[in-house]
Amino acid sequence: MKYKCLITDHDDTLLNSTEEVHYPAMVECLKVLRPNISLSFDEFAFYNFDHGFLKYAKDILGFSDKEMQIEMEMWRGWTDVHRPTFFEGVREVLTDFKDAGGIFIVSSHSEKDVILKDLENARCPKPDAVFGWELPPEKRKPSLYTIEKTREMFGIKPEEMIMLDDMPHGLEMCRKAGVEFIFADWARKPDRLREKMKKAADYTAESFYEVKDIIM
């Protein structure tokens, strides 16, 4: 194997969650909390790309702490009922990588219990570690915590790791740590965002099968 450790994002990298869950959940949330605001998919994608969800919710929508709690409860309701579709090849490639002795890590802005439930339902290998939204803000992507903790846990070097992500938070983390980065170019995105990520990434993969070619 070329890399001992694959760190992956979760949403829009392993499964089609923004289009199938997060965007429609936010549309329903706005009907309750900001009924005068309409939101297209492209607008939602831009806000998440440029600001990150937390800044979008607090700085642009102006959600109070109480409204953030309502939003989280509504989002959890959607994730409990709606199961996003995993992208083709995810289970097969992750299984082959793990069977070959690879270390599989998830670093995401979803919560650990949601990530593990999604992977179990899709019969994907269990990650060796998950770093999710349950962490305090200073330890979430793009913090170096994922990289530093992975090095500590498994005794590997940055050049033995590679990350797969569709958003700039993972890219920023990798650039600070000296870890190579694959842009996951398969989830729905505005072209402007796609081109930015292609230019900045070390590799671009258009399917999970192409990820296998890069890492193995």
Q: Are residues 133 and 191 in the same domain?
A: yes
Last residue of a domain, one of 81, 103, 123: 81
Instruction: State how many domains the chain has.
Output: 2
The closest alpha carbon to 17, from 134, 110, 133, belongs to 110
pLDDT in tens, 13-70: 999 999 999 899 999 999 999 999 999 999 998 888 877 788 889 888 999 999 999 9
Q: Are residues 152 and 191 in the same domain?
A: yes
pTM for this model (two decimals): 0.89
Q: What percent of the chain has pLDDT over 90?
A: 81
pLDDT in tens, 81-123: 888 999 999 999 999 999 999 999 999 998 899 899 999 999 9
Q: Are residues 94 and 191 in the same domain?
A: yes
Residue-range definition of the domain harbouring residue 205: 5-16+85-215
DSSP per-residue letters across 53-96: HHHIIIIIS---HHHHHHHHHHHHHHHHH--PPBPTTHHHHHHH
Residues 134, 10 contacting (CB under 8 angstroms): no
Residues 51, 170 contacting (CB under 8 angstroms): no
Q: Are residues 76 and 143 in the same domain?
A: no
Q: Which residue has the tokens 């936010």?
A: 26
Q: Are residues 36 and 49 in the same domain?
A: yes
Q: Tokens for 162, please give them.
A: 């590679």
Q: Are residues 155 and 201 in the same domain?
A: yes
Q: Are residues 198 and 114 in the same domain?
A: yes
Q: Are residues 113 and 53 in the same domain?
A: no
Q: Tokens for 152, please give them.
A: 């500590």
Q: Tokens for 166, please give them.
A: 């569709």
